[in-house]
Structure 1
Amino acid sequence: MKRKEFLKTCGFGLVGLPFAASLLQSCGGIHYAAANENNGVITIAKSQFIINPQKPEKLREFVMVQSSRYKFPLCIYRTDSENYVTSLMRCTHRGCELNVGGGIYSCPCHGSEFTNDGTVMTGPADENLQTFTTNTDAEHITIYLS
């Protein structure tokens, strides 16, 4: 490869790299749902699970919400069309914030893994995640924190 060709190729790579990185980053974002919290009850619209309003059949597996009661976020996981499980994203082993993906919760600190309903799959954690009673109606999901 000639010097001029090499510099041209490197230049295109340097210009395209930030663009490619921004595309990849936008694909893996976690959606924090808009929520109303009142007296230990959180309510979110089911529409928060819709990825694209033009294609309402495409739904997220989960959304996150922040509660004023907890340092860690809550993950609302859609198990089927009308059932949801809400778990506190705090590992029961040493209190690290969990990652979510691939249908499981995983602890980046010590490797514990939990199912999407909060049950321990692999340790060192030996207690299930804190979960909350979660009900639905036609339009909303209601989470009871107490």
Structure 2
Amino acid sequence: MNRRDFIHTSCLTCAASVGLLSFLQSCTTNKYVSNFKVDQKKLSVKRAEFTVVKKGKTIQQKFILLKPENSPFPIALYQLPNDQFKALYLECSHQGCELNPYETALVCPCHGAEFNTKGEVTQGPAEASLKTFVTSSDAENVYIQLA
């Protein structure tokens, strides 16, 4: 294979991959929750908000999105293994763009920085982890300490 054929094949493969990934990505929807309470710098959301019924099937969401009043960015609340939760502020630590949350990562559309569901940088250019909030839970609710 000569250089020209290699470049042509590589470009076609990349283009096909991007098209396929964007199609798969569009099959999922992010769930914004508006039914939450804020009381003395603590936000509470029902655990049931992680459960969605679609076409008669019950689906357990990996995360939900919350947009507190007067907050420029939403908060992604991830449900982790062992009944743990992680609340991440969706502002990129690189240059302040709003992150796109996915089940296993958060991606900055501005410069491509990536973070895991614990808010840690997995790919630059960002160097600092995301802002996180202390969480706690009981049988019915998950609590996010805002300050």
Please indicate the TM-score interval, normalised by the length of the shorter structure: 0.7 to 0.9
**Residue in structure 1 matched with residue 30 of structure 2 by the alignment:** 30
3-state DSSP of counterpart to 1:52: strand
3-state DSSP of counterpart to 1:43: strand
**Residue in structure 1 matched with residue 131 of structure 2 by the alignment:** 130
For residues 1-146 of structure 1, the aligned pairs below 5 Å read: 27-33=27-33, 34-52=35-53, 55-56=57-58, 58-80=59-81, 82-146=83-147
3-state DSSP of counterpart to 1:76: strand
Letter in structure 1 aligned against 2:40: N
Which of 87-96 and 62-71 deviates more?
62-71
Equivalent pairs counted in the alignment come to 122
The answer to whether the 8 Å contact 2:63/2:103 transfers is no
**Residue in structure 1 matched with residue 11 of structure 2 by the alignment:** none
Letter in structure 1 aligned against 2:30: I
- TM-score by structure 1 length? 0.77
Write the distance in 2 (CA, Å) between the matches of 1:60 and 1:44. Answer: 14
- TM-score by structure 2 length? 0.76
Write the distance in 2 (CA, Å) between the matches of 1:114 and 1:27. Answer: 22
Moved over 6 A (4+): none
**Residue in structure 1 matched with residue 8 of structure 2 by the alignment:** none
Percent identity, aligned pairs only, is 32
Which of 64-73 and 131-140 deviates more?
64-73
- Alpha carbons of structure 1 residues 127 and 30: separation in structure 2 relative to 1, 3 Å: same
Structure 2 portions without partners, runs of 5+: 1-23
The answer to whether the 8 Å contact 2:45/2:142 transfers is yes
Write the distance in 2 (CA, Å) between the matches of 1:122 and 1:25. Answer: 20
Q: Which has the larger radius of gyration?
A: 1
Write the distance in 2 (CA, Å) between the matches of 1:55 and 1:109. Answer: 35
